[in-house]
Structure 1
Amino acid sequence: MTEVAFHFNALDKISYACRLLRKASRQGARVVVTGSADMLQQLDAALWSFSAADFVAHSLATDDATVLAASPVLLLESVLEAPHQQVLLQLGDAVPAGFERFERLIEVVTLDEDDRALARQRWKHYASRGYAVQRKDLELKEPS
């Protein structure tokens, strides 16, 4: 069964996702990131520029199938066609279709009240289906 974890109190989804993906890449994890097209475009741009010393190799859904299969980080609106199912990083508003195929699911939630309300709905969805949901509070870990 998929391990579900909510990372609450992220100051910004994009910057938190960049740091999380850098850490996952260093550990050799394969991650699929899902969210809106706009969110994924912002993340793509941020991954190219967030650190002068680090680069997180990643691909978009529009890239060649060979590139997608080789990429450790994929930015996809729909995860149903993902070539690997190790970790799913969810930046969107709704429960992603096909999440149960992944070993781990990480939901990133900001301080925004609308984002938190949508996260509560997703939490209830997972819990009602028998997933043990973990909570990670980022408030003390992120710089102010």
Structure 2
Amino acid sequence: MTKVFFYHNVQDRLGAACALVSKAYAQGKDFTVYAPDPERAQVLDRLLWTQPPLGFLPHCRADSPLAAETPVLIASQLDALPQDQRLLNLADDIPADFNHFASLIEVVSQTEEDRQQARQRFRQYKEMGCEIQSIDMAGR
């Protein structure tokens, strides 16, 4: 069963997502970011080019010919991916087929709309029997 981690109380959802992906990459871990919204995916792509500020975070779209050899993928769909360990969800709903991943990360900002959507996803994961861990990022 997929382990689900909720990182909540972040100032900037996409900025926090980049920081988490950067940290995982520094530890040698592959990562898939689910971003079905094209605008959100584009902003994330730009941010990943600048994170970390003095480093390089190799990433590409999941449909790129380089996807099989790239540690960080940005995906608008989760079928036929070369990675299945870590998934970061930037959608407002639960991703279909998330249970093919060992772990799933949700990043929740302090906006009321984001918090409400996250609460709904939390309930759905719980109803599915997922093990959930919450990490409060306030003050970090």
Please indicate the TM-score interval, normalised by the length of the shorter structure: over 0.9
Corresponding residue SS for 2:28:
coil
Which segments of 5 or more consecutive residues in structure 1 lack a partner in the other structure? none
Alignment RMSD, CA only? 1.1
CA distance in 1, matches of 2:131, 2:103: 12
Contact 2:34 2:91 in 1 (8 A): yes
Q: In the TM superposition, what are the counterparts of 1:1-144 in structure 2 within 5 Å?
A: 1-35=1-35, 36-64=37-65, 67-141=66-140
Contact 2:86 2:102 in 1 (8 A): yes
CA distance in 2, matches of 1:23, 1:90: 16
CA distance in 1, matches of 2:112, 2:25: 31
Matched residue pairs, number? 139
Match for 1:23: what amino acid?
Answer: K
Contact 2:88 2:106 in 1 (8 A): yes
Farther-moved stretch of structure 1 (91-100 vs 45-54): 45-54
Structure 1 residue ranges, 4+ long, deviating more than 4 angstroms after superposition:
none
After superposition, give the CA deviation of every residue in 1:33-75 in whole Å (9 maximum; x if it has no partner). 01221111101011112443111100113411xx101111000
Contact 1:48 1:55 in 2 (8 A): yes
Corresponding residue SS for 1:96:
coil
After superposition, give the CA deviation of every residue in 1:82-119 in whole Å (9 maximum; x if it has no partner). 11101001111010011000000000000010111110
Farther-moved stretch of structure 1 (122-131 vs 45-54): 45-54
Q: TM-score, normalised by structure 2?
A: 0.94
